[in-house]
Structure 1
Amino acid sequence: MTRRAVVVGVGHYLPERVVPNSEFEASLDTSDEWIRSRSGIESRHFAAPDETTSDLAAKAARAALSNAGLQPDDIDAIILATSTADLTFPSAATMVQAALGMTRGFAFDVQAVCAGFVYALSTANAMILSGQANRILVIGAETFSRIMDWTDRGTCVLFGDGAGAIVLERQEGGGTSEDRGILATDLHSDGRFKDLLYVDGGVSTQSTGYLRMQGNQVFRHAVEKLAATAETALEKAGLAAADVDWIVPHQANIRIIQGTARKMGLDMDRVVVTVQVHGNTSAASIPLALSVGSERGQIKRGDVLVTEAIGGGLAWGAVVLRW
């Protein structure tokens, strides 16, 4: 028998405030048509002034626990993927641990920007396979609205806030691609491309900073690298693109999503898409899409999923799992 990290619960949370594209027209040289045509985004959610990343994460975590039929103390660990933690330290994950009333186990953050949830999934999988934990809450949560330059129409219209979470549980499988759970992971980074997507501030520079992006360059890298990492992860799992029921991609831009699917030879009717109503929620986008796709009835038990993401670093990767 082979240990597998199996998804047993999923949930998400979106802030109440919905921001349509039209809201940007008063302050920027932009339009609903311009934003839609370049990104596929129609609206996004922004956190309330008193709402933090850990607040969003805790609500998504509660939804995932409820979906799994579990209590906080049934969980051994929390791994929270975020680039917009409440404080420099402690980790937002420990704040979620406290908010849930979880009095055992351990919690920490993972920071790989938009690829953060893929990195967190890979880390959680390794911990379950090694016997370090039996149940792990894996969360992606962001408040990217806090790092936007509202004068930069090329970035501020693209991002939103939100959180998604899954519960991974150790189960036994037969060691084949027919098993439920995570079947393969594939991670990469290349720090030479830092200037393509970054925040121009931080603790050691004593400034908060704003997100900066060379959109055309990020697009060029994204399609090529996402298709390649997805195909590598499938190969590791002993599967091919034809075996995939759903691609659940990082929801950055509809053109990147379409380009990646095309490069993999898959139709868009096999892709879970939420970017139109969530915008780019960075590390939250994949778990949000997993939760919404499950809620819609698209993702069903036994389906083969590929999740892939790329973000600042550049950092990118993919996970293949059977739901």
Structure 2
Amino acid sequence: MTQAQQTELPSFVSNARISAIGSYVPERVITNADIEKLVDTDHEWIVRRTGIEERHQADVDQNTSHLAIAAVQNLLRRFPSVEAASIDAILVATTTPDMPFPSVASMIQQAIGASRCLAMDVSAACAGFVSSLQLANGLIMTGSYRKVLVVGAETLTKITDYTDRSTCILFGDGAGAVLVEAADQGAFLSSNASTDGSGGMQVYCSDDHKIVQNGREVYKWALTTVPDGVRDLLQNAGLSMNDLDWFIPHSANLRMIEAICERLELPFEKALQSVVRNGNTSAASIPLALEAAYSEGKLQPGQLIALYGFGSGLTQSGLLLRWTL
């Protein structure tokens, strides 16, 4: 092989595709009117600043594992050809596990009867779901795994400080799941990730287990880094912004998504989000947006989709894929 041929090799290889999807959000809803009773705010201010109208809250006896299991069971009901016994690995992206161990993934394994599989949690905050998709692709590329269940699940309301006006308006609970399956022609086209640990404490969980966030600094960081990351995804695949059918960023804040789209010169109508009805659900926000778009018939086979997670760490992960369902 010549030097020229070596440089032409793709930097990203995939034999994976998304072959099934499911989701779950708790029945209990926290409206902006409910938040008004807790802190000095109002519906109009919350919508103007964040776009959020409501968010879902897990019951006292509902943990992240319950939401994650419900999302996976929803997937299995909708795609009856998927047998739990055929799943080789379970990856759960979450920052709010039921407990430090055992993992939420192992609880899903037991609940669905996946008889023999790898099971582990991934902690990458709001980038966790996309990072887990990247890991799923890597597992499949080893040849030892063919079906990897990837779940994003959070119960952020359990660690929300409802006396903090700046953060209590944001967070909600939910879970989304996809099955990543080996394919002759991979649908994952390019991938990237980066971390700036110097800004890690801009979003963190305090000693008393509450979310602390410097929203202004996180907003500035996202607007200066995420657009370049999305452009890199497309460039690495030999594609342009005009080729993109849908952009699904982490649903942190509707105004942030609008600003990112503006910097990308991408029509806001091409951005899919879950924040208006679910709030910021961290690792669950992208799969919830993906599942909603699928259920509404917006996603069609062959469409080009960019997933981009970003948040505490400060970490970000992107994935460009062709939709195959």
TM (normalized to structure 1)? 0.94
* 1:130 equivalent among 120, 142, 164: 142
- Helix, strand or coil at the partner of 2:56: strand
For the pair 1:65 / 2:79, whether they are aligned, the reply is no
* 1:237 matched residue in structure 2: 237
CA-CA distance at 1:132 after TM superposition: 2.8
Question: Where does residue 191 of structure 2 map in the other structure?
Answer: 185
Which sections of structure 1, spanning at least 5 residues, go unmatched? 174-179, 202-207
Match of 1:82 in 2: 94
Matching residue of 2:107: 95
1:295–1:34: structure 2 CA closer, same or farther, 3 Å change rule? Answer: same
User: Whole-Å Cα distance in 1 between the matches of residues 219 and 14 of structure 2?
Assistant: 37
Q: Which residue of 2 aligns with 1:223?
A: 223
Cα displacement (A) at 1:224: 2.0
Tell me the residue number matched to 1:305: 305
Shift of the alpha carbon at 1:273?
2.3
Secondary structure of the 1:97 match is: helix
**What residue identity is the alignment partner of 1:94?**
S
Preserved contact between residue 226 and residue 317 of structure 1 (Cα < 8 Å)? no
Displacement of 1:288: 0.6
User: Deviations 1:35-71 (Å, cap 9, x if unpaired)?
Assistant: 1111000000000111110110111112223333302
Deviations 1:280-315 (A, max 9, x none): 000000011110010011111111000111111101
Contact 2:273 2:285 in 1 (8 A): no
Aligned equivalents of 2:210 and 2:30: distance in 1?
Answer: 20
- CA–CA distance in structure 1, aligned partners of residues 146 and 237 of structure 2: 22
Distance, in Å, in 1 between the alignment partners of 2:50 and 2:255 is: 7
Q: Is the 8 A contact 2:231 2:241 kept in 1?
A: yes
1:204 matched residue in structure 2 = none
CA contact (8 A) 2:199 2:313 kept: yes
Q: 1:223 to 1:41 in 2, by over 3 A?
A: same
1:230/1:317 contact within 8 Å kept: no
Q: Write the deviation string for residues 159-192 of structure 1: whole angstroms up to 9, x where unpaired.
A: 000000100110112xxxxxx5211111111110
1:195-274 superposed matches below 5 A: 195-201=201-207, 208-274=208-274
Paired residue for 1:160? 172
Alignment of 1:22-61 (within 5 A): 22-61=33-72
Question: Is the Cα contact below 8 Å between 2:154 and 2:281 reproduced in 1?
Answer: yes
Q: Percent identity?
A: 40
Is 1:16 matched with 2:27? yes
> Per-residue deviation at 1:274?
2.1
TM-score normalised to structure 2 length: 0.93
| SS in structure 2 of the partner of residue 73 of structure 1 | helix
The reply on whether 1:5 has 2:16 as its aligned counterpart is: yes
> Mapping of 1:166-181 within 5 angstroms?
166-173=178-185, 181=187
Q: d(CA) in 2 for partners of 1:241 and 1:249? A: 15
Deviations 1:84-123 (A, max 9, x none): 0001111111011111111111110000001111111111
Conservation of the 8 A alpha-carbon contact between 2:91 and 2:105: yes
- The total of aligned residue pairs comes to 310
What code does the residue aligned with 2:75 have? A
Which residue of the partner structure matches residue 4 of structure 2? Answer: none
Structure 2: runs of 5 or more not aligned: 1-12
Q: Distance in 2 between matches of 1:100 and 1:256?
A: 37
- How far, CA to CA, are the matches of 1:239 and 1:133 in structure 2? 29
